[in-house]
């Protein structure tokens, strides 16, 4: 392999191709904030605590007034994505024209997908969403921040919120259009890390609602905020009735390229753990809406308060405040099974980085000097699963992919 090529090889995973029909890719859901039960299967976490952050009752597709709750969590890793569906609703921050000002609550999501990470949040993590992590991290170097259950070490962080924007700015009549914001950060064990905005979802007007938001990094977002069922609010006559949590089929839905949760070498754990909860606008006051749930007993319902002082491992939060998603991909750079076509034609599939270009290379013998030739070159990754059709695939061969940029 020449020096220039060695610098551009992003991964090299080998397998033998063979004739015959192989399994097709899994059917993916429409990411629209409405639960596809056939795809997701049973919930991985179900709420058992009434919400102390208000119970929304207005039932609008986008705008939830005076209430936030997390009723159940569903997730599946498929076709290069971590699909995550959080059933419930999240209070919308309005501008007081069509919608009340309200609270801009946040859904904070922590992901444990690789070895290492942070069991208690440090105070020197990356700046994201106006200092979200520092608001939940160490008070000072001698103190811990938010503590997770034993065995949960957060490696990555996501946070989502929704609000309205007044349009048009230049002349009346003014209306409020919906906006959703999704942020991301890495959480190295030693602190630091990086952060970025994964996407800003924007409806074109106050009466037109986009079904699926697709961002340039491959992330997809769907949001249906109309839930008025699920758990009740604390203080209501029915607060102990949490039996309707699994009936909620609307909420926040994300399709996240699996590479977002891999280490620098592309490796991933075979089980991805996720903790999610509703926080306030500044990430300084955690609600009792947590998945996995808090298990609060009747008469003792209450919000968790300052995250820097809270420990999910203590006895007042029984069970695990996270849920686990099986992961079939040992690497975010894996070659997948090819799909046989007619004659010598085959469609090859591999996990890649959206926006980058790849070559598929083949060798027929790995004994002695390795001679690799391009089977297909110049394939642009438009999603986390890259596909290329080789019209003259070797009956028996070894394949690898090379990132060209």
| Mean pLDDT in residue range 303-327 | 93
Q: Which residues are paired to 326 by β-bridges?
A: 271
Average pLDDT score, the chain: 88
**Model confidence over 270-310: pLDDT tens digits?**
999 999 999 999 999 999 999 999 998 887 889 999 999 99
**Model confidence over 338-376: pLDDT tens digits?**
877 766 688 888 999 999 999 998 887 777 777 888 889
| Residue 26 binned pLDDT confidence (cut-offs 50, 70, 90) | low
**Closest C-alpha to 164, from 68, 212, 219, 100:** 100
**Model confidence over 207-261: pLDDT tens digits?**
899 999 999 899 999 999 999 999 999 999 999 999 999 999 999 999 999 999 9
Token pair for residue 257?
């390229």
pLDDT at site 174: 87
pLDDT at site 335: 85
- The set of long-range contacts for 136-139, using a CB threshold of 8 Å and a minimum separation of 24, is 136/108, 136/279, 136/283, 136/284, 136/307, 136/308, 137/308, 138/308, 139/308
Quickly tell me which residue has 């069970």 as its tokens: 319
**Model confidence over 52-88: pLDDT tens digits?**
999 999 999 999 998 999 999 999 999 999 999 999 9
| pTM (2 d.p.) | 0.92
The span from the CA of 114 to the CA of 261, in Å, is: 8
Question: Residue 7 class from Cβ within 10 Å (0-12 exposed, 13-18 middle, 19+ buried)?
Answer: exposed
* Secondary structure string (H, E, C) spanning 146-207: CECCCCCCECEEEEEEEEEEEECCCCCCCEEEEEEEEEEEECCCCCECCEEEEEEEECCCCC
Cβ-count burial 307-329 (b if 16+ within 10 Å, e if not): bbebebeeeebeebbbbbbebeb
Token pair for residue 289?
């809406």
**Model confidence over 166-188: pLDDT tens digits?**
988 777 888 899 999 999 999 99
């Amino acid at each position: 392999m020449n020096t220039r090529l060695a610098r551009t090889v992003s991964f090299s995973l080998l397998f033998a191709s063979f004739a015959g029909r192989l399994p097709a890719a899994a059917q993916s859901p429409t990411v629209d904030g409405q639960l596809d039960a056939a795809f997701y299967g049973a919930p991985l976490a179900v709420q058992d605590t009434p919400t102390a952050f208000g119970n929304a009752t207005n039932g609008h597709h986008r705008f939830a007034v005076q209430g936030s709750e997390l009723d159940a969590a569903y997730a599946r890793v498929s076709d290069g994505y971590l699909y995550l569906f959080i059933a419930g609703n999240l209070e919308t921050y309005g501008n007081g024209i069509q919608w009340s000002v309200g609270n801009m609550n946040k859904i904070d999501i922590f992901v444990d997908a690789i070895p290492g990470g942070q069991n208690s949040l440090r105070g020197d993590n990356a700046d994201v969403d106006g200092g979200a992590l520092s608001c939940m991290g160490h008070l000072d170097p001698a103190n811990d921040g938010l503590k997770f259950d034993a065995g949960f070490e957060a490696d990555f962080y996501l946070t989502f919120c929704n609000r309205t924007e007044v349009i048009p700015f230049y002349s009346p009549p003014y209306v409020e259009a919906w906006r959703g914001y999704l942020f991301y950060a890495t959480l190295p064990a030693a602190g630091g890390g990086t952060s970025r905005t994964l996407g800003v979802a924007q409806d074109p007007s106050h009466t037109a609602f986009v079904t699926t938001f697709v961002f340039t990094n491959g992330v997809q977002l769907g949001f249906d905020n109309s839930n008025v069922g699920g758990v009740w609010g604390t203080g209501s006559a029915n607060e102990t009735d949490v039996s309707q949590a699994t009936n909620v089929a609307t909420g926040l839905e994300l399709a996240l390229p699996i590479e977002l949760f891999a280490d620098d070498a592309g490796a991933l754990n075979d089980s991805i753990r996720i903790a999610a909860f509703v926080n306030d606008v500044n990430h300084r006051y955690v609600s009792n809406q947590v998945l996995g749930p808090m298990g609060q007993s009747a008469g003792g319902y209450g919000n968790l308060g300052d995250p820097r002082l809270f420990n999910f491992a203590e006895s007042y939060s029984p069970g695990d405040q996270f849920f686990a998603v099986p992961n079939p991909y040992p690497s975010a750079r894996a070659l997948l099974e090819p799909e046989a076509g007619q004659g010598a034609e085959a469609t090859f599939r591999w996990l890649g980085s959206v926006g980058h270009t790849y070559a598929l290379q083949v060798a027929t013998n790995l004994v002695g000097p390795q001679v690799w030739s391009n089977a297909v070159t110049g394939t642009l990754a438009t999603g986390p699963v890259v596909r290329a059709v080789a019209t003259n695939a070797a009956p028996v061969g070894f394949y690898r992919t090379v990132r060209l940029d």
